[in-house]
Copies of this chain bind each other. A is one copy, B any other.
Amino acid sequence: MRRAFLALAARDIRLAAGIGGGGGMAVFFFLTVVAIVPLGVGPDRPVLELLAPGMLWVGLLLASLLTLDRMFQADVEDGSFDLLSMGPLPLELVAVAKSLAHWVVTGLPLVVAAPVLGILLNLPPERMPLLVMAMLAGTPALSFIGAVGAALTVGIRRGGLLASLLVLPFYIPVLIFGVGAVEAAAGGFEGQAGMQAMLLLGAISLASFVIGPLGAAAALRANLR
């Protein structure tokens, strides 16, 4: 089982890390979304600073969403999923392996890229550590919740966009607490509000780690039999 789990996660990471896989692509997309905002709303620095945490999280959500679609879809379309589901791993663990791989190739690089983009949006440097911590706590939830959406829309052409829509409402708590954590830092009361938001983010991630794969496996069974 462990061998199968690792093999699957490694294969998914490898496929996604290659070009056309989506890993680097997500970061690049994040970058363009963030770069396009100042062009749209104008280069006014205080306004940008105000927008920065929100836009960073929105960019992160979008980049993460867009890479969801292929989590199961590609395997279903080319027939590999039939074979995966006949292997020794229960579907729940298949979903865990795939969500983890998704996080490694999208969530993690996005977190690393975020501070650089923060500079572009004029985010004060002292808020960066909190931003990164909040993102580290929050991004796993994006992949694990996302797995359910991806599973629900598997087998639908263009399921990707539909998955985004199904998943977005569930991303909103992450967004709210994520932005909250960064803004609390500005208020200078990290001790309370910041920590609280961070804890909530962690809790959401933990919960999604359990619920996400269960839901995804159920959705896959319902969709593919």
Show the binding face of A for B, using Cβ within 8 Å.
19-22, 25-26, 28-29, 32-33, 36-37, 39-42, 47, 50-51, 53-55, 57-58, 61-62, 66-67, 70, 74, 156-162, 164-165, 168, 171-172, 175-176, 179
Contacts and interface: CB of A to CB of B under 8 A. Distances in A.
A182 B58 CA distance: 23
Contacts of A36: 58, 61, 168, 171-172, 175
Nearest to A38: B54
Contacts of A164: 29, 32
B22 A41 contact: no
Given A51-B51, A66-B161, A70-B157, 11 more contacts: A20-B157, A25-B162, A26-B161, A32-B165, A33-B62, A36-B172, A39-B175, A40-B51, A40-B179, A41-B51, A41-B179
Nearest to A31: B165
Chain A, interface SS category:
helix
B55 A40 contact: yes
Identical copies in the complex: 2
A124 B66 CA distance: 32
A22 to B, nearest CB: 5
A58 to B, nearest CB: 4
A57 B38 CA distance: 12
A40 B54 CA distance: 4
> Top 4 A-B pairs ranked by shortest CB distance?
A40-B54, A41-B54, A20-B157, A25-B161
Contact of A54 (B39, B159, B168): B39
6 contacts: A20-B162, A26-B161, A33-B58, A36-B61, A39-B179, A74-B157
A164 B28 CA distance: 10
A78 B106 CA distance: 28
B165 A39 contact: no
A165 B37 contact: no
Given A40-B175, A168-B32, A168-B36, A20 B54 contact: no
